[in-house]
Amino acid sequence: MDIQKQIATVWPQLHAMAEPAFQEVRTAKFVADRLRELGYTVEENVGGTTAVVGVLDSGRPGPTVAVRSDMDCLLFKQEDGSEKAIHACGHDAHMTVALAVAQLVKEQGLPCGRVKLLFQPAEEIGKGALVLLEAGALDDVQYALGYHVMPKDMARSGQIIPQINWTACTLIEGEIRGLAAHGSQPHLGINAIDVGTAIVNAVNALHSNPLLGGSVKTTRFIGGAGSLNAICDKVSIGFDLRSTSNAEMLVLRQKVADIVTNTAKLYGAEGESHIVGTCPAAEADPSLLALTKEVIVDVLGTQGLLPAANITVGEDFNFFKQEKPELKTASLGIGCDLEPRLHDPEMHFDHAALEPAVKVLAQLTLKLLQNA
């Protein structure tokens, strides 16, 4: 198999058909058609969405190893007000790698068990992994391998991080409802801006264990769109929560919800909040991490192996482990001289660096089956 030729052929096509969350129709058809060409059994529209699952069965008893790729892109506002779909997070690269891995393990042959290729939608909004879980796509899986192209300051071309310790993140949206009044009679109203300010101050006073990296930031405060001499009766407020601990994240969520509700009540207003999106923190499996390091060194040499890395970004791949604790997972970081940064419409990377990632993931998949 000429991996570089495969990358040069597949990546431009996927990059050109960028589609946002749950709208990956052409993308899903592309990967499904390619998997069928390789001899995989393919299920489309998994969970009633654009998700695609491809299975290669050796016909011999053994574990199932899943290789997961996300499919969606990001939307960017243009000068004319329109939105442009761009693969600025590397999901086109992820799909390219997954399809190459699918071909490589097929050519090398499975010693036993099965390989599953999971192409999930909607990673950018944190909902795609849950679709696969709810549809039962992980029910028979013992090992799940995820990966992500990484910025240049974290990994260079020819380097791979064996485990990315993604951070738990939660986005919360709240609404404060006060009572409108004329500015000359503030005692007859309940100023939602005052209430919202008190909530922000209370949230800023939250302190968590510094070793867990917990933080809560107010990221939205909208209110007072009416006349300047009117008491504001409604405020929209938003928060970003982060922690390296899933347990601490649950505590932070509850504290923010309580602050919104109870502070509003103290002022005679009404406050409610709801979670807009969430991703759990990574929970790596030590035995799988050791094997991943071994394979990286085997493919790239010791100079290609980087230490496990912590990152303050969320990744919904981690729902797999949270919802199925017995699952053994690895989340690799692919060095590819990516610049200037993820989620930048001008993001670009070294395509040649995808080849070692393909080899590492294919070899890791086969070793997991060989060691069964």
Token digits for 289? Answer: 């991490």
Residue 83 above 80 pLDDT? yes
pLDDT at 254: 97
Q: Which CATH number fits domain 3-166+283-370: 3.40.50.2300, 3.50.50.100, 2.60.120.680, 3.40.630.10?
A: 3.40.630.10
**Domain 168-279 belongs in CATH node 3.30.70.360:** yes
Arithmetic mean of pLDDT over the chain: 96
| Residue 162: pLDDT band with limits 50, 70, 90 | very high
Asked if pLDDT for residue 226 goes beyond 90, the answer is: no
Helix axes 91-108, 354-370, angle to 10 degrees: 50
Lowest-pLDDT choice from 70-74, 135-139, 209-213, 272-276 = 209-213
Task: Give the residue-averaged pLDDT of 119-129.
Answer: 95
Secondary structure percentages of the chain, helix, strand, coil, to 5? 35, 30, 35
Who contacts 47 (Cβ-Cβ below 8 Å, separation ≥6)? 131, 132, 134, 135, 137
**Tally: H helices and E strands in the chain:** 9, 17
Q: What pLDDT does residue 213 have?
A: 85
Asked if 238 and 174 touch (Cβ cutoff 8 Å), the reply is yes
246-257: pLDDT as tens digits? 999 999 999 999
| DSSP-based three-state secondary structure for 155 | coil
- pLDDT value of position 208: 87
Does the pLDDT of residue 211 top 90, yes or no? no
Residue 33 predicted with pLDDT over 90: yes
Check residue 275 and give its pLDDT: 95
Averaged pLDDT, 347-366: 98
Which pLDDT does position 284 carry in this prediction? Answer: 84
8 Å CB contact between 128 and 120: yes
Looking at the predicted structure, is the pLDDT value of residue 234 above 80? yes
Q: What is the mean pLDDT of residues 16-33?
A: 98
Strand ordering across the sheet containing 215-223: 215-223, 234-243, 168-177, 270-279
Q: What is the pLDDT of residues 317-355, one digit of tens each?
A: 999 999 999 999 999 999 999 999 999 999 999 999 999
Task: Give residue 182's pLDDT.
Answer: 95
Residue 301 has pLDDT above 90, yes or no: yes
Give pLDDT tens digits for 244-295: 999 999 999 999 999 999 999 999 999 999 999 899 999 888 989 999 999 9
Band (pLDDT 50/70/90 cuts) for residue 371 is confident
The domains of the chain are located at: 3-166+283-370, 168-279
In the structure, what pLDDT confidence band is assigned to residue 63 with cuts at 50, 70 and 90?
A: very high
pTM for the model: 0.91
pLDDT of residue 124: 94
pLDDT reading at 372 higher than 80: no
Look at residues 107, 212, 124 and name the one whose alpha carbon lies nearest to residue 171: 124
Q: Residue 25 in contact with residue 32, Cβ under 8 Å?
A: no
